[in-house]
Structure 1
Amino acid sequence: MGEALEAVNSFIAASAAAPWALGAVFLLAILDAVLPPLPSEGLVITLAAFGAATASPNLILLGAVATVGAWVGDNLTYTVARHSPLRRLRDTERARLRRAFHFASRELHQRSAVIIVVGRYIPVGRVAVNVTAGAGRFARPRFMALTALAAASWAAYAVTIGALAGAWVEENTLLGAVAGIAVAVLLGVAVDQLVRRLTPATPGAP
């Protein structure tokens, strides 16, 4: 068992140092702006854990790539929502997703900075905010600026969690990466629950 874990550690460490690793972060960060199940956050945390232990990849470069990828993904989703039927997601029959869109629409008019930044930490909220902003004709320059702030804070958060977890479990970087992802998931669930408490139930929704 110990040899197997060591082999996995060695494989991930070698992959983390490969040039394509940052490319994978960039691509996943773009795609998960509209496809939440994609594990961009987990990948950033894992690479950060190994980066803290082995100095590869460079944590600053990792954070920069994740930031740019997240920003591109958010703004791509905004653009697609503005010019496609994607806006119809707002009327989905899925109660949770519909509530997220209604909440995003209301909050974008009242406290756009907060909802755009907070939404980046919640997969469903991220899509709801991006689509609602695009479909609702939210000012593009303001959206670009706020998503830049949101992407930078999200990337810094993911890299920091990964680096701290990797340093905390120095003898097993893979375990540190898993611990970091677990912490991120718990924080995400906590934020999601808070947002759901603040989201009014939609009539007829379960």
Structure 2
Amino acid sequence: MGSAALLTSSWFCVLAVLAVLGDAFLPFLPSGTLVILAVLKTERIAGAPLILAGAVALSSFLGDVALLALARRGAPFLRRRLAKRPKLATSVRKVQHSLDGRTNRTAAAVVIVARFVPGGRTVLDLAIGHSPAPSHRFLRWSALAALVWAGYIVTLGWLNSHWFNTTWLSLAVSCAAATSISAAVARLVRRHRRLAAALPVDPA
């Protein structure tokens, strides 16, 4: 790989890592797409997928830490955001309620699943940040979720880069697969909530 191509690949990796860091605050950022594109651009570099996965996982975790810290401190722009978006505030309250009294294993599953739901990471970070419960357990789960998601999205791009001969087709198939998986997870979460709401309340 020439120096120009290597420089271009490096810039794609930097953009991908920054997008993953920022989508905790701005969930509309195409972080998954950029990570897949970075994988495709660095496929000929030995060890690149592992390095990129590590950088993405670290960036994802640091984004959670930053948003959680701001929520804990009651950052004014976060208060305004919740005040202007009642649906977001409602989602935050629902997540807080769903985490109350959960076992470590179940709560960890909630944190991991939230990584795969569009906007779920932001809602989860805000919910934990506005909760009186200590955040040290959440940070462990967040680190695990970051590793799982980074491994998943990088592997998805890497597999498609070897199955298809062209970058654009690999990118299209990878993004379509990632979108389908996220949509499927979101449907399962909504279905679980409906079933939980339909269950009778134990008077005891």
Cα shift at 1:113: 0.8
User: 2:85, 2:169 → 1: CA distance?
Assistant: 40
Would the alpha carbon gap of residues 141 and 93 (structure 1) be closer, same or farther in structure 2, given more than 3 Å must change? closer
Relative to structure 1, the CA distance from residue 58 to residue 27 in structure 2 (aligned partners, 3 Å threshold; closer, same or farther) is: same
Is the CA contact 1:16–1:47 (under 8 Å) kept in the aligned structure 2?
A: no
SS in 1 for 2:119: helix
- Equivalent residues in 2 for 1:3-14, closer than 5 Å: 14=5
Look up the match of 1:192: 186
Q: Is the alpha carbon distance of 1:40 and 1:161 closer, same or farther for their aligned partners in structure 2, counting shifts above 3 Å?
A: same
Partner of 1:30: 21
Q: For this pair of structures, how many residues does the alignment match?
A: 187
Tell me how large the CA RMSD over aligned residues is: 2.6
> Match for 2:185: what amino acid?
V
Give the Å deviation of 1:66: 0.4
- Residue 125 of structure 2 aligns to a residue whose secondary structure is helix
Separation of aligned partners in 2, 1:166 and 1:177: 8
Judged with a 3 Å threshold, the aligned counterparts in structure 2 of structure 1 residues 102 and 197 are, in CA distance, closer, same or farther, namely farther
Pick closer, same or farther for the CA change 1:114–1:141 going to 2, 3 Å: same
Moved more, 143-152 or 108-117: 108-117
Change in Cα spacing, 1:126 to 1:91, as seen in structure 2 (3 Å) is same
Structure 1 alignment gaps of length 5 or more: 1-12
Structure 2: stretches of 5+ with no match in the other structure: 198-204
Deviation at 1:99, TM superposition (A): 4.8
**For residues 50 and 19 of structure 1, do their structure 2 counterparts lie closer, same or farther at Cα, with a shift above 3 Å needed?**
closer
The runs of at least 4 consecutive aligned structure 1 residues that moved more than 4 Å come to: 87-94
User: Contact 2:61–2:143 at 8 Å: present in 1 too?
Assistant: yes
In structure 2, do the counterparts of structure 1 residues 59 and 144 end up closer, same or farther at CA, with 3 Å as the change threshold? same
What are the within-5 Å matches in structure 2 for residues 1-206 of structure 1? 14=5, 17-52=8-43, 54-55=44-45, 58-84=48-74, 85=76, 86=78, 94-95=86-87, 97-109=88-100, 110=102, 111-169=106-164, 171-199=165-193
Contact 2:16 2:38 in 1 (8 A): no
Change (3 A) 1:107 1:89: farther
- Given the superposition, is the C-alpha separation of residues 148 and 67 from structure 1 closer, same or farther in structure 2, using an over 3 Å criterion? same
Counterpart residue identity of residue 71, structure 2: A
Aligned CA distance change for structure 1 residues 89 and 115 (closer, same or farther; 3 Å): farther
Alpha-carbon distance in structure 2 between the residues aligned to 1:175 and 1:45: 12
| Structure 2 CA distance for aligned equivalents of residues 15 and 40 of structure 1 | 21
Aligned mates of 1:197, 1:141 — CA distance in 2: 30
Q: 1:82 to 1:107 in 2, by over 3 A?
A: same
Instruction: Give 1:195's aligned amino acid.
Output: V
Please, what TM-score do these two structures have when normalized by structure 2? 0.81
Per the alignment, in what secondary structure is the counterpart of residue 129 of structure 2?
helix
